[in-house]
Structure 1
Amino acid sequence: MQSEDMNGSHLILFDESSSVYQYFDINMPYLVIYESLNIGADLMVYQEFSENNRILKERQYTEFTQQSRKLHSHNFYELTFVLSGQLTMRIEDENIIYNQGDCCICNRNIHHMELMEQDTEIVLFLIKEEYIHDAFDTNYYYDRKGRPHSIGTVFDVFFSENKKNPLYDAKVYADYRILYQDSIEPLLKIMNQMITEISGTHSGKSHMMKALLCHFFEMLENDSIYKEEIHWARLSNEEQIIYQITEAYKKKNGIFSRTDIEKITGYNGDYVERIVKRHTGKTLSAYGRDFLIQKTAELLRDTDLSIAEICERQGYSNRYYFNKIFAEKYGMKPSEFRRQCYCSLRVR
């Protein structure tokens, strides 16, 4: 996906030269993107569809292949559908091939890249988590006694795994392998309806978009049309080190010493420091402080411990410094954060 030099694009690229990854964000609840490659015509096409807005960008394939590309991640869910040809998805440290009619759904923050190396067309649905909840939390049917029953989707798996590991979202993705090519036509019809709804301003369009999205997933999860498989992505060696450190910090209060880090990972502390900096943009100690501050917020919200007791429990003897780093994370002092939590509970 490319969003450089496209006025009006809702796809925002963050790319620091020092980082091994790119990061994307969207400033809309969802986007639909069409990409195609025609090698004979030396042409790549990018179309972006959002609320009352369309973008078309064409570029030479030979020009595109000369540019260095990075794996990217984002804080939204991405569904990639192969309209024609063959797509190679680089997901973390593995290449997976998808053919016409196949589909891949990547969890938030999983590193990946779409690689089109032959004539191929794909459609991508980029969807914020809030929009998914809005669409699927009210997706239910009533039984004969008038009782509502929720209709689950693959996102339930993602949400569940992310709650277990909120600071390092689960490296999970879902494959949908089409069983019969004849089944593609109804899916294409739904996608075309979505594009029509996006472009309009008529009454009920927001409801129609959610209904179409629910219907689309109903077809994906129909085992007579698709074979569904949930995968944990294979982590690179560096990703594995980050994961080990993250898991260790989640189980411990306080910053690890350099010796502790070396025991946990099996690598030299300076090497681990460089990896953490490259992957997170933070020093090892700053990365560890994130976990301490999050735990502090939980204690302020869920316990009656005094701020002095929490400060001591978290290993901070300097109250001023403790307040400073907490405010950098949450935009307010610990006392203000606790007061705001109490106010929210009373409102409920």
Structure 2
Amino acid sequence: MSTNSSYVVKNIIQGHNLSSEINSYLKILAPLQFTLETCGGTGETDYANIFMTSPLESSFYSFQNSTEIKRFNARIPHLHDFYELMIVLDGEIHQQIEQTELVFHSGSCCLMNRNIVHKEGFHSKAMLLFIGFSEKLVRELAEDEQKVYFPEIERPGSNPILRFMTDNLTKSDTKEYLDFFPGINNKDWYRILHTLTDNILRAIMFPQMGSTYIIKGMLLELFGYLSNPEQFHITPVHVEADNNFLLFSHISHLMEDMDGRITRSELERMLNYSGNYINSIVKKYTGLCLSDYSQMFYIKKAAHMLCTSTLSITEIMEKLHFTNTTHFYKCFKKHYQMTPKQYRLSKAKNQA
């Protein structure tokens, strides 16, 4: 990588302001570009490889030791004129977004708009995929979306990822991104994300007649998978928002996935934060301790089952792992000011 004030990576990326102490600026030269970053670790004998490709050209760069990796991590942050989707395929990555450092783990994704100053840093083994979308490509995808053959299925205008990018085309100063957090029951994300992205890479590297349309179609397929609420939770984040908002969102999504039946130690393992810190975040946003917040989810689930099923109250208790009838009734009445039986009758009466 050059240390001059500008550089060009083989008709893929053009960098500017590299001598600045504030941030550099990257300009995309292709319709889209893929950057695969692989780090074998940060020890003396470890390495990091960066492979970039686009419909125009490809490039490869390697950091051969920990000194070079540290130099890479120490570079100034950057922003760019394209939208960037980061997919953590393996391990974890530290991402500095403006003044905040976040850690993204396997399966997590992040789509940034064009105004956010950021940089990634390797602290352990990791495999990352960055997909850069030019403004021209975003406009083309939005236009093509209106010409679909199966509008009942493809539903033009409904995809939140494409909508996020097209909405941002007219926002010159808004700093925002989409955070993607895999659902707790999404056990197959690794295979699916690898398959989808590998297929797009192959279409880019081995083009044939129709590859342009194939690539666009597969990008939309990727967008569809990432925006499926059964697979991923999407959180829009404004950089000006509270730094802890994203963590609270992840806690809430995990609670929702498990109907509140998730332990503090499980949250610690999944989120890589201490139980005390997780509890403090929940307290900050809800005024509740972690146990009371989790209770909201399983009581809400009980209320839903009372309204939508013919299960007995005892059967609902069993499904939600209540072993004490008195405790269940006490918790339910605390949230809904009536017993489960009264709640079921009142909802049935309202629907009659």
Place the TM-score, normalised by the shorter chain, in its bin.
0.5 to 0.7
| Structure 2 counterpart of 1:45 | 49
Q: Which residue of 2 aligns with 1:198?
A: 204
The runs of 5 or more residues in structure 2 that have no matched partner are 243-352
Q: Does 1:177 align with 2:181?
A: yes
The correspondence of residues 260-339 of structure 1 with structure 2, limited to 5 A, is none
The TM-score with structure 2 as length reference comes to: 0.60
> Which residue does the alignment assign to 1:160?
167
Q: Deviations over 1:93-150 (max 9, x none)?
A: 1122111111000001211111121100100001112101212332246457x99744
Could you say if the C-alpha distance between residues 105 and 148 of structure 1 is closer, same or farther in structure 2, counting changes exceeding 3 Å?
A: closer
Pairwise CA distance, 1:59: 1.4
Does the 8 Å CA contact 2:135/2:169 hold for their aligned counterparts?
A: no
From 204, 215, 218, the equivalent of 1:212 is 218
Partner-residue secondary structure (3-state), 1:181: coil
| Aligned sequence identity (%) | 21
Instruction: Give the number of aligned pairs.
Output: 231
Which of 41, 57, 61 lines up with 1:57 in the alignment?
A: 61
Q: Is the 8 A contact 2:203 2:211 kept in 1?
A: yes
SS in 2 for 1:135: helix
Contact map agreement 1:32 1:50 (CA 8 A) in 2: yes
Cα distance, 1:81 vs. partner?
Answer: 0.3
Shift of 1:70: 1.2
Over the residues paired in the alignment, what is the CA RMSD in angstroms? 2.7
In 2: Cα distance, 1:54 partner to 1:94 partner: 32
Note closer, same or farther for the CA distance 1:135–1:159 as it changes in structure 2 (3 Å cut): closer
Q: Give the TM-score, by structure 1 length.
A: 0.61
Q: Displacement, 1:52? A: 5.3
Post-superposition CA distance 1:148-178 (Å, at most 9, x none): 7444332423443553x43x2x100000011
Give the whole-Å Cα distance in 2 for the aligned partners of 1:3 and 1:124.
Answer: 21
Q: Please list, as runs of the form range in 1=range in 2, the aligned pairs for 1:1-348 lying within 5 A after superposition.
A: 8=10, 10-39=12-41, 40=43, 41-51=45-55, 53-60=57-64, 61-66=66-71, 68-139=74-145, 140=148, 142=150, 149-161=156-168, 163=170, 165-166=171-172, 168=173, 170-179=174-183, 180-234=186-240
Instruction: Give 2:95's aligned amino acid.
Output: M
Change (3 A) 1:118 1:143: closer
* Native 8 Å contact 1:79 1:104 kept in 2: yes
Structure 1: runs of 5+ lacking an equivalent: 237-348
Q: Is the 8 A contact 1:92 1:235 kept in 2?
A: no
Q: CA deviation at 1:195?
A: 1.0
C-alpha deviations, 1:229-279, integer Å up to 9, x for none? 00001389xxxxxxxxxxxxxxxxxxxxxxxxxxxxxxxxxxxxxxxxxxx
Separation in 2, partners of 1:30, 1:54: 12
- Are the aligned partners of 2:36 and 2:127 in contact in 1 as well (CA < 8 Å)? yes
Q: Distance in 2 between matches of 1:143 and 1:64?
A: 48
Note closer, same or farther for the CA distance 1:115–1:27 as it changes in structure 2 (3 Å cut). same
Relative to structure 1, the CA distance from residue 66 to residue 186 in structure 2 (aligned partners, 3 Å threshold; closer, same or farther) is: closer
Question: 8 Å contact 1:136–1:214 — kept in the other structure?
Answer: no
The CA distance in 1 between the partners of 2:166 and 2:203, in whole Å, is 28
Counterpart residue type for residue 161 of structure 2: V
Change beyond 3 A, Cα 1:199–1:13? same
Cα 1:95/1:24, change in 2 over 3 Å: same
Contact 1:137 1:150 in 2 (8 A): no
